[in-house]
Amino acid sequence: MAQGITEQVQHSEDSRRRAPALESVAGQATGAFPVVRMRRLRRSAVVRDLVRETALDLDDLIYPLFVVPGSGIQREIPSLPGQYHWSVDRVAQEAERLAHLGIRALLLFGIPASKDPEGSQAWCDTAPVQQAIRAIKAALPDMLVITDVCLCEYTSHGHCGHLSGQEVDNDATLPLLARTAVSHARAGADMVAPSDMMDGRVGAIRRALDEAGFTETAIMAYSAKYASAFYGPFRDAAGSAPSFGNRRGYQMDPGNAAEALREVQLDMAEGADIVMVKPALPYLDVLRRVKDTFAMPTAAYNVSGEYAMIRAAVDRGWLDERTAVWESLLGIKRAGADLIITYWAPQVAAWLQEGWRP
């Protein structure tokens, strides 16, 4: 397997070296001003639309939602202005509003009523996520419901798996993640998304789903998930900050790109249907390498810190919200993302409904 990934990386590098020189593109001389004028194809919106190489569409976007215990709750998250904690009854109503905007896919995160060292509420059939799945699917059968599969929101210590002393025990965590994924599928989830970064978790989840009869439930793997500073607002929203240490022992080192290709290849071999790079904007180079190397359906997570930065600049009048958001999401898609998980999805949908054009 190591030899295979080395050959793929070498092939990619060889392809770049064999790319035609700029002066001979399409067999024509370039830079021959005034015969060649690049501005001709930028003169009007119609022409720009016709020749645009990358287009962003609402069907590219997945919207994350945070579900909490209780009823009648719509509570704004301080570190994520414009994003909310939703109780189960309200999240179904919100899903209907989103559907009217044209959003067709949701990613659910849950905050339990209580936590314990194992995170047992993660696979409880009456926990907020499982209840939310049933409520949303009852109201909107065609809405694609994806669920995050991790234990960090559910464990009392805030780490993503079972602890042995002060270490996350990889192999002891796998059956807990598999049990969680099956409980989500049983509640009606269309797709599960393991974000824990344990080795072997995609295979463990795929086997558990198949054995439970959920052979059609897809897996979107957080394959290249980096240990990033850009998760801060999310950890506040999900109450998932570790009580000691950090997650660098299982999430990826930000300096590594070739390692991301190995992670993706392993997840593919274990049964991932979609692979992911997270975060998005600081890792566009990784996203492009993943897409070029594997040609797999590829997601990118435009994470909470990326959202919060633009939102803070917009609130201070430093950026125009619509054009900054659109440019950011377009850049993620141009880098290779087929799917983009983003907190901006409802705003983008509303702007498009209004007839706004970038």
pLDDT digits (tens, 9 = 90+) for 161-207: 777 777 888 999 999 999 999 999 999 999 999 998 899 999 999 99
Half-sphere exposure of 296 (CA within 13 A, CB side): 26
Token representation of residue 278:
């997270």
**Token representation of residue 59:** 């069907």
pLDDT score recorded for residue 21:
47
Q: What are phi and psi of 75, to 5 degrees?
A: -115, 120
Q: Which of 115, 278, 291, 333 is catalytic?
A: 278
Q: How high is the pLDDT of residue 92?
A: 95
Give the whole-angstrom CA distance, residue 195 versus residue 231.
13
225 is catalytic: yes
Residue 121 burial (10 A CB sphere; 0-12, 13-18, 19+): buried
Q: What is the pLDDT of residues 283-305, one digit of tens each?
A: 999 999 999 999 999 999 999 99
The rounded percent of the chain whose pLDDT value lies above 90 is 73
Burial of 283 (0-12, 13-18, 19+ CB in 10 A): buried
Region of residue 282 (left: phi > 0; alpha: psi -120 to 50; beta: else): alpha
pLDDT at 271 over 80: yes
**Least trusted range by pLDDT, from 4-18, 31-45, 181-195:** 4-18
Check 137, 225, 291, 333 and give the catalytic one.
225
- CATH number at 57-353: 3.20.20.70
pLDDT score, position 156? 73
Q: Please tell me the pTM assigned to this model.
A: 0.88
